[in-house]
Amino acid sequence: MEPVRRGALPDGLYGQELERRIDEAAAFISERLVAVPDVARPRLAFVLGSGLGGVAELLDPEPRVRIRYGEIPNVPASEVAGHAGELICGLAHGMPILLLSGRAHPYEGWSHRQATLLLRACLSLGIETLVLTNAAGGVNPDFEPGEVMLIADSVNLSGDTPLIGPNLDRFGQRFVPMTDAYDLTLRARAREAAGRAGITLREGVYVMLSGPSYETRAELRLLRTLGIDAVGLSTVHEVLVARHMGVRVLGFSLITNKATADMEGEVSHEEVLEMGPIGAARLLGVIRELLHDLLPEAG
C-alpha cells in the first residue's frame, strides 16, 4: 500500500492499490475465460448501455462464458434498471468478443476510478478495439427519439476523471491526447455499415454530466450553445481509460428522448427504457453490418 500523501484521494483507490485491484479482477476474468480456450483471448469488446443487451444475439449460442459482475473481485455492480450487470464472452465469425452488459455509474456513488475498474481489467487482457454504447437525450432539435447517433467527439462536464491520481505507467502515459479519441477509420466504417443496412445514422457531440438528475431548461440551452448534440451520464470516463491504454474507440448513443429547452413535459427513466428497444434494433442492424470490420482479421 502506498503511504498517505498530501492531496490523497478520498476513496483511497489510486496508485498501487488501484493497480492491484485491477489486476485481481483481470486475473479472475482471465481464469474463467482460459477454461474455454475458444474464447480465451478476446480483442474486441463492447460496453452495452440501457436496453442494449440484445447485442448478445450476435454471438454464437455456444461456447459462451457468463460472469455476473458481483462475482468479480473489486467490481461495483449497477443497480440501475436496464443494466444486466453481466460479462459475456462468445464467438462471432469465429472470433472471441467480450460484452459488458451494463455498467456501474458514477452517480450511484462510485468515483470514476471505481466505475472504470472492470473496464480497465478487461482491456488489460489484450482488447484492441472498444465499442461503447449509451442511452442519451437529444439536445440537437433535429434528433428524434429512436434514432442512433455516432459519437464524433465528446465533452466531460461530469466534474471527475478516472485518470486523477498517480499515473499507472504500465497502462499508459501521464498526459493522454484526446483530439481524435473516437477512431476516424472506425467511424467511416460505421457510416458505411449504416448505409448498407439502410439505417439513418446521426453524428454529433456527446456530453457526460454527473447526474442523476436530468437537465434543467437553462442547462439544455447552455449545452446547445456549446455545440452539444446528445447528453448522458456515462461513457466519457470509459473513453478516457481506453485511450490511456491505447485502445481504439467507437461510440454510439441511442437517442431516447428530446432534451431541448422547449420540450414538453418532463423526461423519466421509464421513457428512456421504453424508447431504448427502438434505437437498439437500429443499432443492432448497424453493428451486424459493421462487426466483421471491427474484428482483428478485418483490420
Contact 162, 241 (CB under 8 A): yes
pTM, rounded to two decimals: 0.93
9 domain residue, yes or no: no
Q: Give domain status of residue 105, yes or no.
A: yes
- The count of other CB atoms within 10 Å of the CB of residue 87 is 25
Distance, CA of 297 to chain centre? 23
- Domain CATH code at residue 73: 3.40.50.1580
pLDDT for 6: 47
Number of folded domains in the chain? 1
What is the predicted pLDDT for the residue at 293? 92
Residue 11's identity, in one-letter code, is D
Render pLDDT for 48-84 as a digit per residue (tens, 0 to 9). Answer: 987 777 888 899 999 999 999 999 999 987 665 554 6
Cα–Cα distances in Å, from 260 out to 37, 141, 175, 219?
49, 6, 35, 10
Report the pLDDT value the prediction gives residue 78, as an integer from 0 to 100. 65
In a domain, 19, yes or no: yes
Residue 171, domain member (yes or no): yes
- Give the pLDDT score at 117: 97
Residue 273 in any domain: the answer is yes
d(CA 36, CA 39): 6
Report which residue type is found at 155.
V
| pLDDT given at position 86 | 94
Rounded to an integer, what distance in angstroms lies between the CA atom of residue 117 and that of residue 121? 6
Q: Is 123 helix (H, G, I), strand (E, B) or coil?
A: helix
Residue 72 located in a structural domain: yes
Domain span at residue 123 reads: 15-298
Per-residue pLDDT at 272: 64
Query: What per-residue confidence (pLDDT) applies to 1?
Result: 45
| pLDDT-flagged residues of the chain (< 70) | 1-8, 78-84, 265, 267-269, 271-273, 275-276, 297-299
Please check whether residue 223 is in contact with residue 204, taking contact to mean a CB–CB distance below 8 angstroms: no
Task: Enter the C-alpha cell of residue 299.
Answer: 483490420
Q: What is the pLDDT of residue 133?
A: 96
